[in-house]
Each structure stands twice: as C-alpha cells, then as structure tokens.
RNA sequence: UCCUCAGUAGCUCAGUUGGUUAGAGCAACGGACUGUUAAUCCGUGGGUCGUAAGUUCGAGUCUUACCUGGGGAGCCA
C-alpha cells in the first residue's frame, strides 16, 4: 500500500479508511494498555497521532518506539476521541525502520537552545522550529523563481569560480589545485599560477553582478540565484562566509524602476509566505517572535520610504541624538544611524539613494552633481541592509575614468567594458541577501539558523 | 578583527569571603495509571567543573594564555 504524507492525511475525512503513514516519532505517551505516538514526516509542522492498543503489539517493539525512531504505521484513519486533533490513526501494524537510542539521541521532549541545535545541525531539521524555517526557505526559493519567471526574467547561471578579483565586494576564497606545501613562485616572489588548473589566479565568486550585466545587455531582464562566498572575518548574526544571493539585472531600468522592482519583489515574497506557509508562520509567531505576522502584514501594507542619502544625513543631524559615530555628509552611515531611520524615525522599510560616490562601488552611475551615484540600499527593521543596488554607469568614458581613479584592475575588466563600447544601454540591478530575507520572514534572529549548514569563520562542520 | 559576557550532569542553570562528600529542574532508566497532548505520580543512575599552566595547606571559585559559544561593533547581502 502506498504511503500518504501527513499533510494530506490531516486534510482527509476520517471515515475509517486504511492508510499507511511513515515518519519519525516526536513523543510517545501512555500506559500499559494504550500508547499514543506523535508522528511527523516533515511534510507539515503538524503531527499525526497514532493510537496503539498495547495488548495487540509485541512489548519489545513498543519499547523500541522512542523519540527519534522511524516507523511505518498501517491503520485506520478515524475521528479522534481526544482533544487537540481532529483525526488519528488506529494502528493495525507497525514496522520499525530505525531505532533511536533514547540515552544518546540528543533531541528531547523539551525546548533546546538555538546554540545547542547549531551543534546538532544534522538533526535539527527534526524540530518544529527548523522544520518550519526550512519549509519556508524552500517556499521563498520557489517564489523567487516564480516571480521572475512570471515577469519574463531569465534565470542566468553566472560562474562560481571567477578569474577576476574585480568586483571589489570583499575578501575572496582562492581556488587552486596547487600543492599548498610547495607553491611555485616568480622571481619577484609572487605566486606563479602558470601551472595551476586554470593557469591563472581564480577565486570563488563574491557576486554574479558583473556577469549578470552581460546577460541583461542582450537578454533584457535576467536574475541570478546562487551561492556567494566572502572570506571576511565577520562574526555577527547577519553574516555568513557562504550565502545565497539573488541578483536581478535589467536593461532600460533607471533607479526609480529599480526601486519599484525591489519593493514589489520583496512584498511579493512576503505575501507568498503569508498565503502558502501559514501554519509554519503561526508556529514561529507563537514560539519565536510574537510580532512576526503583524510585522509582515505591516510591511506589505505600507510604502517603503524613499529618501536620498543627503536627506538622511539632514534627518540624523536634526534628530539631536548623540551618536557613537559622528554623522556628516561623506561619511558612511553606521548601523546605529540606519536603525534610527528605520526603527524610530520612519518606523518602516527605508530606501536610501544617491550616496556619495567615494563610499560606493566603481560601477554605479554617476549623477550630474559629480558627487553622488545612483545607488540604493533597502533597509529593514532588525536586519539592516537587505538589498543593495544601483543604476549602472553605462557611459564608457565615465566608467573607465572611475576605474582608473579607484585603481581597479582595468585589464581584467575588458569584457565588462566591452558592453559599454558596443551598444551600451541604461540598466540597473540589485542584490538581495537570501538568508537575510529568510530572517525577516521567519522572525529568527541568527542567520546561522536559516541556512541548513552555516559556514562561518572557524566553522565548516557537516 | 575589536569590545563584552559566558563555558559545571544529555539539556537549561545554581554553586556564598577559596574550605570537607559539587546541587536543582527537565531528559534518560525502573515502577504506577484504560484516551494522553512538552501527560501525571513514586523511585534510580548520571560530573576529568572548556583546555593548559600558575598562586595556595587547599581551586568549580583567584591569575595568565589558549579554545569554543552568545551579544555588540566593523566589513557587507
């Protein structure tokens, strides 16, 4: 007989039909004559209750059905006699797939700290919280593809191994097949890559943007969605060394179009979660973050505030607040400044635009004032920067002048510059940190708890 | 990387001015209970006090270094 997933069973009318259910035991309770098993198969946060008449089963089998054990149950789906669930299964036969030694199985019928669960990341999927988080993570990944596909964007696979360090987006992980114990050197002491796998220095990507722009300037609208690597020694609840990023890139979009897309996109994802992950969100709302669902709805209903960097500096200066870091035009905004704008002054997501060019990347389109660039950062409560983007500099002369000014490796960027030489076009794009989105949507507070196997400084377990 | 707090039973923690045999709740195990909902009740076992040095008659407690983790900051998504 074919197994039915618990998600389906719970929607089925309890008319006494025989069903097969397979899953992992969450708890077992009862006495000598009757035993209740809460069974979960991951398809939903809800368990199905299996009712066992102890007299009809082998005592040693029942003894082996402990928290964490895997079983298959064949029985009749009936209306529950107890409260707390509508349907339950009267067990006919039980097959034990895998025992779980209760003395050593780390998950117990009690709450565990997030820190402890991180140490048992291979088993934490079996908890309500992480089950909910990773079902939502999946739903968000699916919704991202659906949103862009419905809008006529093409999913472009940009390389994970890159030959340039031109992005300037942070420290990179080297990729090599050389024997690290004896690295060939040039006469000047630099590394000789001639005999390395690619015959040149290569790294893991820190951003697919530059390649994404190449796609946009012929396919029109593209997006990337893949892993990204930063070798920064960042130890915070918002940073990972390996994370996933979504980077749409659109031909003929100016900065306003870019902001409109970013806002619509994030709101689409939030409403997708509310519509499709309701039970998991309700659980997280009850157990993790009481304000979660209200906050999601609030973001959905309100326009993001859009102001320029210059206006933001004026607001911060006029606030009369005492800052740990001084506010002043030309200085980068600190976390305390962004938090004030988002969480106190406006109390909603804020998009900051037109930053001083000195503190932004070389590829951003320069404004006519010659001081600012068409950048945009989307700031979210509790998370900070969730999106960073810009209109791109499409003018060859301005772009190359900026590259030389910032002493970028011009030669490595010949292919990027070619797009400005041959049929250049105004275009824009942004990067959304996938895990930061998941943080916001789930109400979790540490980014290590929204990716299955976090990679952080000094930690690559599992 | 910087600042800060922490590391004691499987988990979450208590442990006094340094003092004799290191405690609790939960979990586990044994028992009781014919419908439980993180079941309840009775009982039992469980510790190299993060690691290494040092101070001292004596260190879970004090000192130093290191390791690991949390929070904050920087870098950013």
Q: pLDDT tier at A165 (50, 70, 90 boundaries)?
A: low
pLDDT in tens, A275-311: 999 999 999 999 999 999 999 999 999 999 999 999 9
| DSSP 8-class letter at A200 | S
Kindly tell me if the per-residue pLDDT of A9 is higher than 70.
yes
Q: What's residue A220's pLDDT?
A: 97
Q: How far is CA A138 from CA A7, A134, A377, A438, in A?
A: 16, 6, 25, 10
**CA distance from start to end of chain A:** 35
Whether the beta carbon of A193 falls within 7 A of nucleic chain B: the reply is no
**In this structure, what token pair is assigned to residue A275?**
């519509």
Q: Phi and psi (nearest 5°) for A145?
A: -65, -40
Q: What's residue A208's pLDDT?
A: 94
Q: What's residue A113's pLDDT?
A: 92
Return the nearest residue to B68, CA–C1': A458
- Residues 252-311 in A having a C-beta less than 7 A from any atom of strand B are none
Q: Give the 3-state secondary structure percentages of chain A, helix then strand then coil, rounded to 5.
A: 35, 25, 40
Separation CA A303–CA A167 (nearest Å): 32
Please state the ipTM of this predicted complex: 0.91
Q: What is the CATH number of domain A126-170+206-449?
A: 3.30.930.10
Query: Structural domain boundaries of chain A?
Result: 6-98, 126-170+206-449
pLDDT in tens, A440-450: 999 999 999 99
Give the residues across from A430 on adjacent strands: A389
Q: What's residue A14's pLDDT?
A: 78
A118 near A448, Cβ under 8 Å? yes
CA of A233 to C1' of B53 (A): 30
pLDDT in tens, A409-434: 888 899 999 999 999 999 999 999 99
pLDDT in tens, A329-385: 999 999 999 999 999 999 999 999 999 999 999 999 999 999 999 999 999 988 899
- Residues 11-30 in A having a C-beta less than 7 A from any atom of strand B are 27, 29-30
Separation CA A143–CA A325 (nearest Å): 39
* Contacts of residue A113, Cβ cutoff 8 Å, sequence gap at least 6: none
Domain range A6-98, CATH architecture: Beta Barrel (2.40)
Whether the beta carbon of A446 falls within 7 A of nucleic chain B: the reply is yes
| pTM of this prediction exceeds 0.80 | yes
Evaluate whether A6-98 and A126-170+206-449 have a shared fold: no
User: By percentage, how much of chain A surpasses pLDDT 90?
Assistant: 84
The DSSP code sequence of A227-267 is EEE------STT--SEEEEEEEEEET--HHHHHHHHHHHHH
Separation CA A419–CA A218 (nearest Å): 10
A433, with CB counted inside 10 A (0-12, 13-18, 19+), is buried
Q: pLDDT tier at A456 (50, 70, 90 boundaries)?
A: very high
Separation CA A347–CA A359 (nearest Å): 26
- Round the CA-based radius of gyration of chain A to a whole number and report it: 27
């Amino acid at each position: 007989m074919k197994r039915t997933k618990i998600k389906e069973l719970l929607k089925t009318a309890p008319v006494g039909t025989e069903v097969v259910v397979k899953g992992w035991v969450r708890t077992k309770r009862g006495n000598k004559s009757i035993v209740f098993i809460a069974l979960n198969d991951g398809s939903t946060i809800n368990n199905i209750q299996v009712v066992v008449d102890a007299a009809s089963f082998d005592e040693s089998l029942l003894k082996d059905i402990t928290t964490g054990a895997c079983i298959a149950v064949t029985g009749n789906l009936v209306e529950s006699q107890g409260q707390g669930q509508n349907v339950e299964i009267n067990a006919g036969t039980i097959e034990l797939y895998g025992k779980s030694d209760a003395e050593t199985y780390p998950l117990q019928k009690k709450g565990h700290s997030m820190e402890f669960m991180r140490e048992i990341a291979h088993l934490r999927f079996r908890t309500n919280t992480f089950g909910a988080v990773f079902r939502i993570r999946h739903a968000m990944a699916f919704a991202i593809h659906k949103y862009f596909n419905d809008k006529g964007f093409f999913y472009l696979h940009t390389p994970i191994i890159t030959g340039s360090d031109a992005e300037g987006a942070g420290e990179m992980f080297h990729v090599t097949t050389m024997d690290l114990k004896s690295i060939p050197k040039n006469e000047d002491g630099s590394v000789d890559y001639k005999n390395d796998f690619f015959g040149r220095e290569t790294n893991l990507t820190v951003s697919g943007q530059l390649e994404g722009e190449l796609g946009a300037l012929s396919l029109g609208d593209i997006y990337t969605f893949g892993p990204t690597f930063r070798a920064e020694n960042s130890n915070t609840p918002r940073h990972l060394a390996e994370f996933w990023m979504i980077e749409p890139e659109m031909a003929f979009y100016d900065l306003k179009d870019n902001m409109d897309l970013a806002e619509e996109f994030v709101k689409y994802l939030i409403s997708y979660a509310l519509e499709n992950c309701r039970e998991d969100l309700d659980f997280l709302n009850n157990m993790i973050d009481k304000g979660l669902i209200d906050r999601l709805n609030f973001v959905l209903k309100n326009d993001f505030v859009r102001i320029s960097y210059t206006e933001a500096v004026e607001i911060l200066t006029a606030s009369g607040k005492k800052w740990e870091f001084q506010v002043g035009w030309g200085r980068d905004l600190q976390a305390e400044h962004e938090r004030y704008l988002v969480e106190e002054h406006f109390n909603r997501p804020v998009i900051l635009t037109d930053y001083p060019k000195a503190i932004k990347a070389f590829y951003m389109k320069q404004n006519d004032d010659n001081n600012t660039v068409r950048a945009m950062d989307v700031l979210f409560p509790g998370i900070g920067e969730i999106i960073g983007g810009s209109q791109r500099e499409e003018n060859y002369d301005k772009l190359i002048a900026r590259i030389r000014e910032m002493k970028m490796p011009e030669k490595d960027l010949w292919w990027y510059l070619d797009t400005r030489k041959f049929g250049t076009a105004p275009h824009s794009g942004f990067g959304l940190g996938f895990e930061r989105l998941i943080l916001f949507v789930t109400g979790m507070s540490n980014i290590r708890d929204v990716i299955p196997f976090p990679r952080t400084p000094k930690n690559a377990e599992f």
